[in-house]
Amino acid sequence: MKRIRICSASEIPSNGMKSYDSALGVKVLIANAGEAFYAYQGLCPHQDVCLDEGFFDGATLTCHQHLWQWDITTGAAVGLAEAPLERYELQHEGGEIFVLQSSALKVSELFKGVSDAAIARLDALARREEHAGQTTLYELGDPADDLYILESGRVEFVIGREDRTSMAGFMLRKGEVFGWAALLEDHPRRIARAACMEKSSLLRLNGEEVLKVLADDPMSGFLVMRQLSTLITKHLRSSGGK
């Protein structure tokens, strides 16, 4: 895992917080709760509001926009909040604050429960890509060879066939997978357009190579296919599919 410096510990007041643009490609929030430091995503998962403009009492973080709240020790949603905060592994060493950049594979719902050996093989196969905003990743009808895992940024979708298209209506967080048709039989072409709406970091894996890794580890393969069916169902419901 890559270690990235964020700030000096002295910059964060006791029971205070501050956000920083980072080499992770995302804004990172550092909070000081007494003697402990915590690192989270710097933008609210609701509407991308900067969390350091909100309220923090040393235990609970509150977004000032719509009053979503989180437990600072875990990032768990409290009260009105409908989603947890993404937490980064943090190191406090020599008066400096660092976060560790881990592979998005390890936080992906699709690969949850997969063996460490399989994750290591998949991580070795993954191609890491950086894309600017307004960059098209694939169009309707393109070959469905690869799947993608979002590390940072935002991806928008248009789904449908020919002249019957519509916005998919869902946002992705770190670890979420798209382009999953690459893992399905008899789906050689894309039925969606995907584009980065802001600077985004992605892992890209060839579908056939992923299937070979899973075939060598049947239990992991079973978990991934079961979780893939759940993922497809969720996104079809989000886009109004039947």
Residues 114 and 220 occupy one common structural domain: yes
Residue with tokens 């998962």: 45
Residues 77 and 176 occupy one common structural domain: no
- Of the candidates 57, 80, 101, which is a domain's last residue? 101
- In which element (H, E) is residue 213 found? helix 207-215
Residues 123 and 219 occupy one common structural domain: yes
Tell me the DSSP string of 173-190.
-TT-EE-GGGGSTT--B-
Which residues, 6+ apart, have CB-to-CB distance to 185 below 8 Å? none
One digit per residue, pLDDT tens: the chain, 242 residues? Answer: 678 999 999 999 999 999 999 877 778 999 999 889 999 999 998 888 899 999 999 999 999 998 999 999 999 999 888 888 888 889 999 999 999 877 788 778 899 889 989 998 998 999 989 999 889 999 989 999 999 998 878 888 777 554 544 444 455 767 788 898 999 988 899 988 888 888 888 999 999 999 999 999 999 999 999 999 988 887 666 655 54
Structure tokens at 84: 């947890």
Structure tokens at 227: 């979780």
The domain of 27 spans 2-101
Residues 40 and 151 occupy one common structural domain: no
User: Which CATH number fits the domain that encloses residue 39?
Assistant: 2.102.10.10
Residues 80 and 130 occupy one common structural domain: no
Q: Report if pTM > 0.75.
A: no
Residues 112 and 24 occupy one common structural domain: no
